[in-house]
Amino acid sequence: MCGIVGILGTAEVAPHIVDALALLEYRGYDSAGIATLDGGKIDRRRAEGKLRNLRNSLAEAPLSGRSGIGHTRWATHGAPTKGNAHPHVTPRVAVVHNGIIENYRELGDEVTGAGIVLQSETDTEIIAHLITLELDAGKTPQAAVAATLKRLRGAFALAILFTGHDDLLIGARHGPPLAVGHGDGEMYLGSDAIALAPLTSSITYLEDGDLAVLTRQGAEIYDAGGKPVQRPAQQSVASAFRVDKGNYHHFMIKEIFEQPEVIGHTLAHYSDLANDRIAMPEMPVDFATLERLTICACGTAYIAGLVAKYWFEKVARLPVDIDIASEFRYREVPLAAQGFALFISQSGETADTLAALNYCKGAGQTIGALVNVTESSIARGADIVLPIYAGPEIGVASTKAFTCQLAALAALVIFAAKARGTIDEAEERRLVRSLAEVPRHMLDAFRQEEKIKTIAQGLTKVRDILFLGRGTSFPLALEGALKLKELSYLHAEGYAAGELKHGPIALIDQTVPVIFLAPDDDLYEKTVSNMAEVAARGGRVILISQNDRIAEWQGRIESSIELPDADPFVMPIVAAVSVQLLAYHTAVFMGTDVDQPRNLAKSVTVE
Ligand code: AGP
């Protein structure tokens, strides 16, 4: 989950590289660095921490040169120090890398065995030395890189500069994404189209195993077997999405408040709202006869899939197998012939999810991708892409993507239920109407923000928080806990409310806030009986429910957050606002870096 960029420019490249890195910071921000070729010689600046530290370093000691590479890092091998920051250099090459080389230790032994003293703890430095040894043996830059790639086991996207070769930049991809940008007398490499958006919208995506040799005249691309291949250049839409915070303090809060609008965009693509009917694209599978659906994802995207499991099974009577991708890909799951596997991913680049997709593809499954980035690796590996139209999500904690995933999944559930005959037209209209009302209900939910801020302030004084729910409120309890821990660094756990008495109830005392997601649905009574168990043990109960239900508990609970009167089918989408705002404001009070929480990255492109 690092970001890499390279430029063969017609003018000084350092400022453009830093600007591109700023668009890649969502991929990781433990350190950043840049190297340029000036008069054929490599020069480098690196800085620990955020990109602003590299900008300061460049302000003190500018870099010149018309060829350069840059990197923003999420640490895998080696602590997030300046010494481990990319680019890694030898007298002959400079290398930036996104990925993990699994056999770097044995390769490192070979390098040190050749008398080389390593300067860092990284796998990337090993790559730089291996390429240099091949150059020293007389190979051309392209042959030296090709020979080195054959020895690497693991995942890599690379950009490489060569001393004395001002008009040469080599890129290679095996796993993490890498794109070639076509400029006017300039050429570029980048982890994604967003990074290159200020420079070009003409993008060629490299495929796994590709090696690209760039000069200012263009790119020659070779496949894993070393054969020249043509990869199509396409007009990227990423350039249309130049984003800023507007008058919000953080991208996250901006994206929370964008949800009514972008959910409307998503629903407009999957339903005929004027007639309360579903309008899905042509599906490559027949839901009427589908026996089982596999869903795979990570993090918040997995939680969206978990909500959808309840919907598919209850409304469409379709059994769903769902798992987190990092487990699924190694379980060797026996899959039904001609099954349908749906992969949910905001970035479309999550390595575990992509690996699970490739496993299912190899098992003959039809592949669906529910993504926010339609040019992503997961989208390109699918038989059908279902975009979520959330617009770029910059905050590392996923908010609008989550609710847009839920909106699109809800539409797919209704489509499947119609195909399977488990709902009639009247029920279809009712469910579509309930979806159409989500944006309005979200506006009501926003009105709880001041009350949520007060609760959030109280949470900053505790160390453990529990979120409990039943039915589709159980995944929402997981999401509330995930949001709170990844943003505020407080320990929070989400649990099925009915599971409390099987152990976790031992945690309950007057120091532990327990947040109950208990909308007024068919499981409300069951959930509040668990709430009474907590209250009876002096637990601090915070109830999230409709107003009249909250009134029943006045005086017996510490606090509450009111839910709008939305249909139970769409309540997980509407109630997401409550847990998002709670996590956001707790983080603000804690003073954490809301848009880029420590240790995280927006797109986890390594396993
Ligand atoms: C969500 O708030 C987290 N940042 C994280 O769990 C994220 O959902 C997960 O990494 C999956 O990312 P994806 O949707 O891009 O695949």
Phi and psi at 347, nearest 5°, equal: -80, -30
DSSP 242-309: ----TT-SSHHHHHHHHHHHHHHHHHHHHEEGGGTEE-PPPPSS-TTT---EEEEE-HHHHHHHHHHH
- Structure confidence by residue, pLDDT tens digits, 336-353: 888 999 999 999 999 999
Residue 394 has pLDDT above 80, yes or no: yes
Q: Is 397 in the pocket of ligand 1 (CB under 6 A)?
A: yes
DSSP 540-605: EEEEEEEHHHHHTTTTTSSEEEEEP---TTTHHHHHHHHHHHHHHHHHHHHT--SSS-TT--SS--
Q: Is 603 in the pocket of ligand 1 (CB under 6 A)?
A: yes
User: Around Cβ 226, how many Cβ atoms within 10 Å?
Assistant: 12
Residue with CA closest to ligand 1 atom 10: 299
Contacts of 351 (CB under 8 A, 6+ apart): 155, 175, 176, 604, 605, 606, 607
Q: Do 3-246 and 443-590 have matching folds?
A: no
CA–centroid distance, 228 to ligand 1, in Å, is 36
Global pTM?
0.79
pLDDT category at 493 given cuts 50, 70, 90 is: very high
Would you say domain 443-590 falls under CATH 3.40.50.300? no
Show the tokens assigned to 398: 């996923």
For the CA of 401, the closest atom of ligand 1 is: 14
User: What are the sequence ranges of the domains in the chain?
Assistant: 3-246, 253-436, 443-590
For the CA of 482, the closest atom of ligand 1 is: 2
pLDDT category at 24 given cuts 50, 70, 90 is: confident
Q: Is 490 in the pocket of ligand 1 (CB under 6 A)?
A: no
Coil, helix or strand at residue 221: strand
- Structure confidence by residue, pLDDT tens digits, 53-70: 999 999 999 999 999 999
Across the range 117-130, mean pLDDT stands at 95
Q: Is 350 in the pocket of ligand 1 (CB under 6 A)?
A: yes
Residue 470 has pLDDT above 90, yes or no: yes
Enumerate the β-bridge partners of residue 36: 43, 68
Phi and psi at 545, nearest 5°, equal: -160, -175
DSSP 27: G
Q: Is 579 in the pocket of ligand 1 (CB under 6 A)?
A: no
Q: Is 98 in the pocket of ligand 1 (CB under 6 A)?
A: no
Q: What pLDDT score was predicted for residue 18?
A: 94
CA–chain centroid gap for 209, Å, is 23
pLDDT category at 418 given cuts 50, 70, 90 is: very high
Name the residue of 298, 349, 393 whose CB sits within 8 Å of the most ligand 1 atoms, as the mutation to test its pocket: 298
Q: Is 325 in the pocket of ligand 1 (CB under 6 A)?
A: no
CA–CA separation, 420 and 427 (whole Å): 13
CA–centroid distance, 184 to ligand 1, in Å, is 36
Residue 601 has pLDDT above 60, yes or no: yes
82 is an active site residue: no
Q: What pLDDT score was predicted for residue 1?
A: 63
Q: Which of the following CATH numbers is that of domain 253-436: 3.50.50.60, 3.40.190.10, 3.40.50.10490, 3.40.50.720?
A: 3.40.50.10490
Q: What pLDDT score was predicted for residue 391?
A: 87
Instruction: Output the CATH code of domain 3-246.
Output: 3.60.20.10
Lowest mean pLDDT of 341-345, 505-509, 580-584, name the range. 505-509
404 is an active site residue: no
Across the range 528-534, mean pLDDT stands at 94
For the CA of 396, the closest atom of ligand 1 is: 4
C-alpha neighbours within 13 Å on the C-beta side of residue 503: 3
User: Around Cβ 86, how many Cβ atoms within 10 Å?
Assistant: 30
CA dist list (Å): 537 to 231, 497, 511, 525, 541: 64, 15, 11, 19, 10
Residue 240 has pLDDT above 70, yes or no: no
Residue with CA closest to ligand 1 atom 6: 299
